[in-house]
Amino acid sequence: MRALRYYAPQDLRLDTDVPEPQCQPHQIKVRPAYIGICGTDLHEYHHAQNLIPLPGNPHPLTGDTPPVVIGHEFSGIVVEVGDKVGAFGNGTAGEMIRPGDRVAVQPTLYCRECVPCRQGHTNCCTRNGFLGLSGRGGGLADYVCADADAVFKLPDSVPLEVGALVEPLTVAWHAISISNIKPGDNVLVLGTGPIGLAVIQCLPSFGVGKIIAAEMAGERQVFAQKYGATHLIDPAKEDVVARCLEFGGGYGPEIAFDCAGVEKSLDAATRAVRAKGTVVNLAIWHGKVGFDPNSLVFHEKNYKGSLCFLPSDFGKVIEALEKGTIKPQEMITRKIALDRVVEDGFEALIHEKDKHVKIMIDMGIGEK
């Protein structure tokens, strides 16, 4: 089969002779339809290996080393269901999943044995990994097999291309869910790349008040307003903290989501939120930064990290898509073919990143 495989930074190859995976008894085999390019994919390609295992150092769950198939944001069509899946399935209204069903795949891998897994915190598994990064296949292939409880049936009203957005939307949904947000709370979102925009998209489902977006890039400011931001701040021209106080009648927002992951965004977030407020970090940092902890201590503010999501978050996002409370279609700014992923996908996101939100690979199987 065809598969786009990662060999090393800046070395992606479309191989055409990759063995087709065999569906195990507890798995569901999927033919991918649409796959989104994630910022994590971009970092692994452009900078250095972080989540993809290094040569000679197999991933502890998959046992794989490069080359590995990439692509972890994807939807597809079920082609086979393992004989031990039985009546289980993440279908709507308890329906089991069958061949021909349209699905989104939850890509996190976890051991189910460590303390975090046993406590239900599978996103914090001590050996965690991802389909499409850590081995065991990925979305950018003609076929992929996933554990049955990772495959979620899409409602008829949700197109397959939108199904591939469930994963990044779920990253945002999980962060909001753990923030202790309340209806009417004002919110600051720092950085409106794909995840920041996903946060903005999901916030109305939680009944928030003002949604303040802090972003320097003009194109992304337009995206932020289109997707639901009620107020904009340009950190290059305005004082983020002062503007937040102005918007809140002298008080900062209750919650801030740092999706930028730079020292200035951390500083602004921790100073902007009001007393007892919460800052949630969604960014993956690439080094240590200076930080004044007194900005938290003196007003009993909270700072917490948010990592990926739980399987239950996946189902909640699909439900919100079905209800129409999230309408993310316009996040897809380009569709490309599998044989143009590097030129029209990765390189475009490196050199024209502010023009795009989500570039989607169309595997050419058609909408069903």
The pLDDT-based confidence of 230 (bands split at 50, 70, 90) is: very high
- When pLDDT is averaged across residues 327-351 and rounded to a whole number, the result is 96
Domain with CATH 3.90.180.10 in the chain: 3-167+326-362
Whole-prediction pTM: 0.95
User: Are 282 and 257 a contacting pair, CB within 8 Å?
Assistant: yes
Q: pLDDT above 70 covers what percent of the chain?
A: 97
Q: Give the chain's mean pLDDT.
A: 95
The pLDDT-based confidence of 89 (bands split at 50, 70, 90) is: low
SS3 197: helix
Q: Nearest Cα to 208, choosing from 233, 235, 229, 234? A: 229
For residue 368, pLDDT beyond 70: no
The pLDDT-based confidence of 90 (bands split at 50, 70, 90) is: low
Using one digit for the tens of pLDDT, what is the confidence trace for 45-84? 988 788 899 999 999 999 999 999 999 999 999 999 999 9
**pLDDT score recorded for residue 285:** 87
Domain with CATH 3.40.50.720 in the chain: 179-305
**pLDDT score recorded for residue 222:** 95
**pLDDT score recorded for residue 42:** 93
185, two tokens: 């709370």
Q: Quote the CA–CA distance of 98 and 268 in Å, as a whole number.
A: 49
**How is domain 3-167+326-362 classified at the CATH fold level?**
Quinone Oxidoreductase; Chain A, domain 1 (3.90.180)
SS3 224: helix
The architecture (CATH level 2) of 179-305 comes to 3-Layer(aba) Sandwich (3.40)
For residue 87, pLDDT beyond 60: no
CA angle 225-229-234, nearest 5°? Answer: 75
